[in-house]
Structure 1
Amino acid sequence: MITPDDIRFICLTAIFSNNELSQLLTLKGGNALKLLGLTERQSQDLDFSISESRRLDIKSHKILFESLITKAFSDLGYQVENFKLEHRPTKRNDSIPPWWGGYFISFIIISQETFEQLDDKQRQNIGAHGITIENGQKKIKIDLSFDEYTEDRISYNLNGVDIFVYSPLMIVDEKIRASCQQLPEYTLSKAKDRSRDLFDIYTILINNIDDFTNLDSPENISIIKKMFDLKGVNIDLLLQIINPSIDLLNKLNSDYISKVIPQIPLDKQIDFNYLVSFNKKVFDRVYQKLK
């Protein structure tokens, strides 16, 4: 039986086997951490950054992505159905800056054996017969964000294919920015309570002394500044993590208990107050060099 990790790895090797896409895309987020052996958890969705100032052509790139992914799964006895490549957001208005947004890919897979057993009526609702991936979810989802910083990415060989990913320190940088983007004051996205990012920052830095040391190096501060500038994130938002309100702490703590702790092995769990204290120092180191 095909596993969620199998599906992710098949998608990654299919996409990065194409030279154009390998130059355009960089894997980030939980799946980048998993690939680099920095965490046991992964995001359900694959998250990619698109190099600054590059855009996809919906029509031609849909054909490209779909053909690569379809062939990869077909070789293993699965069909790809309901394949979509769409703009995110789907509709733009004058209030949305040109550098904000990206694309969204979704599809299902179904074994060729199962597909052949479906009658015409069942095939009209093919999505209902897709393989369940995780938590009852059948859709495989890929997020692609444009106008991102990707210059210092690294490569990881997966089954003979070079997968380009954010370096561990770049993942920290991006999660520092993401923590600011989740605040209510950053109006381009909805406010979220994501203590997962704080835990990932802690996990990466506590296990990589060089990255911990180089966090506020001139080279890395330059990268962080570029990341913040590309998405219009004010560096003063860092102060809200350095000196968090009681309300923010309560929301993060609730999120940590309900969504993060259940995913962490018992021997890797840490006290929430210590997690916050660690990150306050990290964010302050960055802020002192940025201001």
Structure 2
Amino acid sequence: MPCRTNEELQNLVEEAKREAPAGKVADYIPALEKANSSDLSAAIFYPDGTCYSAGDIKDQFTLQSISKVISLALALMDRGEEKVFSLVGQEPTGDPFNSIVKLESHSPNKPLNPMINAGALAVTHLIAGVDVTERLERLLCFIQDLTGNHSITYNKDIAESEFETAFLNRALCYFMKQHCVIDEDVEELMNLYTKQCAIEMNSLDLARMGCVLAMDGVDPLNGRQLIPFHIARICKTFMVTCGMYNASGEFAIKVGIPAKSGVSGGVMGAVPGRFGIGIYGPALDEKGNSIAGLKLLDIMSKKYSLSMF
């Protein structure tokens, strides 16, 4: 095992925390501004159930863009690859995660991949259910199974804050509706998407979810195939190529594992065949990634030879 004690992981966390003052907590969603920029916690979850953790592991945070990986898995299970990828592309983009540029300039006018906001909105649109309540409940139940934590829900205050300020995401939706990528009421989709992003957990939950992906969709503790093998592979591939916003290429070179970040400061890592990683550090760099979280993963990758390349 790369990390053998909580103390060993704590030492790495303390080293990475030195980067936090150079970052800034997300402020474009008002409710996220309340986070403590100096926080950093991490968990490593192994297939045999062994877990090592460091920092305030019980700190709750919202998934934000990390939820894009899980909604993609569910949409693929609901609709199949042909349908999903007829509406969303499979190529990386060097643009910011909330950019509208490629929607306008790319032909056909569909999002380039499911990890940018436009693509994630199109994917969430495909989650099956008769209404927002049923679709959200299905997504929550899926995440509860992936984490083994059936108390997980969404943060109502953050969901409301996101819903009230999501003007750019609404613009993306209206553009996609004009071009027949989505065909539902925009406010209904925004209601579902903002609740999806506000689903809340801690680093341990995130690490266990990462472990399921690392083990090709199998829950290692009970042997259940929660995500079909080929869908888990697709999700991990997108995590490598697009998971760290427009820093994904540099991250692949420096760290070299499938990972997905969110603007709350969460990072989920899946080291193929080995273990899952959950990190929370709300101070972000200019691209929206946890600045101390990236440093921690860089340190771990070098120390434990994690890169898959």
TM-score by length of 2: 0.26
Larger radius of gyration: 1
> Which structure would you say has the larger RCO, counting Cα contacts within 8 Å and 6 or more residues apart?
2
Q: Which has the higher strand share?
A: 1
TM-score by length of 1: 0.27
